[in-house]
Amino acid sequence: MSSPAALFTDRSGWAPDGPPRAVVRARTVADVQRTLAEASRTGTPVVTRGAGTGLAGGAVAGPEAIVLDVSGLDRILGIDPVDGIARVEPGVVTAELDRAAAEHGLMYAPDPGSVAICTVGGNIATNAGGLRGAKYGVTRDSVLALDVVLADGTLLRLGRDTVKGVVGLDLAGLVVGSEGTLGVVVGATLRLLPRPTRVTTAVAYFASVAAAAGAATALGAAGLRPAVLELVDGKTLAAIDELRGTGHAGRGAALLLVQADGFGAGEEIAAVAAVLGRTARSVETTEDAGTAAALSAARRDALPAIEAKGRALIEDIAVPRSRLADAVDGVHAIAAATGTDVFVFAHAGDGNLHPIILLGPGTAPGAIPPAARRAADDIFALALALGGTVSAEHGVGLLKRAWLERELGPDVLALQRRVKAVFDPAGILNPGKAI
């Protein structure tokens, strides 16, 4: 952690009123148990954090809270290559787990944008997704068992070591995505998958973002479910050109990046290219890793290119796949109506859009100008109107609390809160977040 402030904020831009009551840097499971038992006794809020890469304010801690930093619990305890299982502590950086798995010919599938710096524990807290999600799912799909410390300090093991199991309720799955409100994850048993030996890549440019979104939908309709299916809009392409000196914007007003892996990857990408070719301006495919890296740089550069222009709100809606073009069109209309700068890239295979609202120069840290706030609200309303959700993979945290009841309804929200109370009767675990 570079500065004390970095210990009670995250990447959401949300600023707490002041420093927390205390910061505990846990080195052992017993540290976590002691901290929670004491906090329960005194009724003190506890905000658990890993690397602080969250985008929804879930790890932001107010002055009344204890910050429980578990990033020091960072060991990979074991990898069993035959069973395809890893046992890790929560502070392990996601990309490092994937690298360790690679030594055994395996991969850890979840790969959020922040994979190089985020931790497995944070991924579990938010049920993080990523680029490979179209084929390999989200973090919950990779979790077999969790070691969880409850609010009173009790250590429980939830889940199991086998791929299948139906004994009891799926409490491990329930903890995934609960944003630190049910317990503190101090260990995880995770699935590893065979590392694909072949990856093929296609990049296509389109005359409009609607055409690109339509092509993404057409892939699904053709029965094609590639491992990666990403969309980048023209505004974002222009930002990348500005940052990197590339010439994307001259080639089209939107880009689709598609990757297939495993047996038949070449044949699959040929089928993909045939569908894209119906409406694309150009389609390029490659089986060469170096060329693929160059082709896919546009997607990897998208967020850095926008953030180079200034502070931004990173949104995270999802809609049914068939509504992808409507969603992109709607976001652009909202940008025009609110006079905001909104960039869009998307995990198109999942119907998951990231509209990025630029806050403009001179915006104070922690402040969100009214036009940007209105744009964000309109984007959330659009997501719900299209049958979607206000958060696909970043979480609710603090930022989307106002939308929680609107999406879930009062009865479901009340039920969720009653379930939380079972795990945390004193309400000390990340209060005021997520649910």
* 8 Å CB contact between 52 and 6: yes
The number of C-alpha atoms within 13 Å of 409 and in the hemisphere containing its C-beta is 3
C-beta closer to its own copies: residue 364 or 415: 415
Comparing CB distances to its own copies, the nearer of 338 and 389 is 389
385 binding its own copies? (CB under 8 A): no
Which ranges in 278-369 belong to alpha helices (H)?
289-307, 324-338
Per the structure block, which two tokens stand in for 201? 């890549």
Which residues, 350 to 369, sit near its own copies by CB under 8 A? 350-352
State the number of binding residues for its own copies (CB under 8 A): 95
Told to check if 268 binds its own copies by CB under 8 A, we report yes
Q: Are strands 46-49 and 341-347 parallel, antiparallel or unpaired?
A: unpaired
DSSP state of 5: G
Amino acid sitting at position 87: R
Beta bridge partners of 49: 69
Binding range to its own copies, per CB under 8 A, among 112-120, 240-248, 294-302, 391-399: 391-399
Written as six digits, the tokens of 309 are: 């222009």
Chain positions 3 to 62 lying near its own copies, rule: CB under 8 A, are none
**In Å, what is the CA distance from 113 to each residue of 1, 132, 216, 299, 393?**
20, 11, 20, 10, 11
- What is the identity of the amino acid at 328? V
Interaction pattern, residues 282-321, with its own copies; x per rule: CB under 8 A? ------------------------------------xxxx
What is the nearest approach in angstroms of its own copies to the Cβ of residue 214? 11
Could you give the string, one character per residue 196-215, with x where binding to its own copies holds by CB under 8 A and - elsewhere?
-x------------------
Q: Rounded to the nearest whole angstrom, what is the least distance from the CB of residue 311 to its own copies in the complex?
A: 24
Which one, 60 or 359, has the nearer CB to its own copies?
Answer: 60
Among 232, 394, 398, 424, binds its own copies (CB under 8 A): 394
Q: Does 141 bind its own copies (CB under 8 A)?
A: yes
Q: CB neighbours (10 Å) of residue 45? A: 21
For the chain, the maximum distance between any two Cα atoms, rounded to a whole number of angstroms, is 65
| Interacting positions 153-172 with its own copies (CB under 8 A) | 154, 156-158, 160-171
- Please choose, out of 36-44, 111-119, 360-368, 400-408, the segment that lies near its own copies by the rule CB under 8 A: 400-408
| Shortest Cβ 260–its own copies spacing (Å) | 7
- Out of 26, 109, 211, 265, which residue is the one contacting its own copies (CB under 8 A)? 265
Q: Pick from 102, 293, 385, 412: which binds its own copies (CB under 8 A)?
A: 412
Sign of CA dihedral 157, 163, 167, 171: positive
* Rounded Cα gap, residues 277 and 285, in angstroms: 11
Residues 98, 100: Cα–Cα separation, whole Å: 5
